[in-house]
Amino acid sequence: MGSSSCPPLPIEIWIEILSYLTDKRNLPTSWQACRRVSHVLKAAAEEAYKSTCLRTWQLHLLLGTRKCRPRLGATSERRVKVTATMSFDKMSPDGQRVFLHYPHCDYWGLEDVDLIAGDLRLVVQCLPGGAMELWIGSGCSKVGSMSPMLDVGEGGLPGMALEVDREARTVSYYWRPLLSTFLANAHDGNPRAFYGIYGKKRPGRVVRGV
């Protein structure tokens, strides 16, 4: 008797299936495990995430600080952080690089904004729907107090190739290395930090994802 085999599913079906598994609860499995099974599942997992979550990533670029009026009853001046909240603009032709843009930032490049000295930091958390929220800038320390984080210094993710273009008011980076490294640290390194209520703000070492 000849052996029978089940024909493989087309990649479009796998993309449809995995698109239901990109939320925070299922993302570590659908991203990390499926991408290690085969080239087809890897491509399907990446395309599923790109089509469902990537456009909703949030990025806050810390530009610096500026003087603010004293509080009522106080005499000393105070300073507030100035940030630009970026939104999705486009993908590179090869789908590797994401560009975020903010055309209406009142404080971008103005003289009353004082830059914060020090190396850039990148702080990341995973939102319930599976999208990432990023804070980038010198002096960044946290995104939230109850969520898992990836906190790395400038150059900590060389594969990300972060670029900040102040003239064009854009930020761009390779999104796959960032997502893989976040999941490798927040999930594999400490599952409780990923699923529980206490975030891992500063891991002892950054585990590079694939």
More confident residue, 155 or 122: 122
What is the rounded CA–CA span in Å between residue 46 and residue 19? 10
In this predicted structure, which of 85-89, 133-137, 138-142, 149-153 has the lowest mean pLDDT? 138-142
Please give the helix or strand (H or E) that residue 44 lies within, else none.
Answer: helix 39-52
Written as one letter, the residue type at 189 is: G
Cα–Cα nearest to 181, from 31, 41, 62: 31
**pLDDT category of residue 63 using cuts at 50, 70 and 90:** confident
Cβ-Cβ contacts under 8 Å for 108 (sequence gap 6 or more): 63, 84, 102, 166, 169
Chain segment 95-113, per-residue pLDDT in tens: 899 999 886 655 555 555 5
Our CA dihedral for 19, 87, 85, 147, rounded to 10 degrees, sits at: 10
Instruction: State the pTM of this model.
Output: 0.76
Question: Taking residues 79-85, what's their average pLDDT?
Answer: 76
Alpha helix segments (H runs only) across 134-201:
175-183, 191-195
**pLDDT category of residue 200 using cuts at 50, 70 and 90:** very low
More confident residue, 123 or 72: 123
The predicted pLDDT at position 7 comes to 67
Question: Taking residues 142-151, what's their average pLDDT?
Answer: 59
**pLDDT category of residue 16 using cuts at 50, 70 and 90:** very high
**pLDDT category of residue 167 using cuts at 50, 70 and 90:** confident
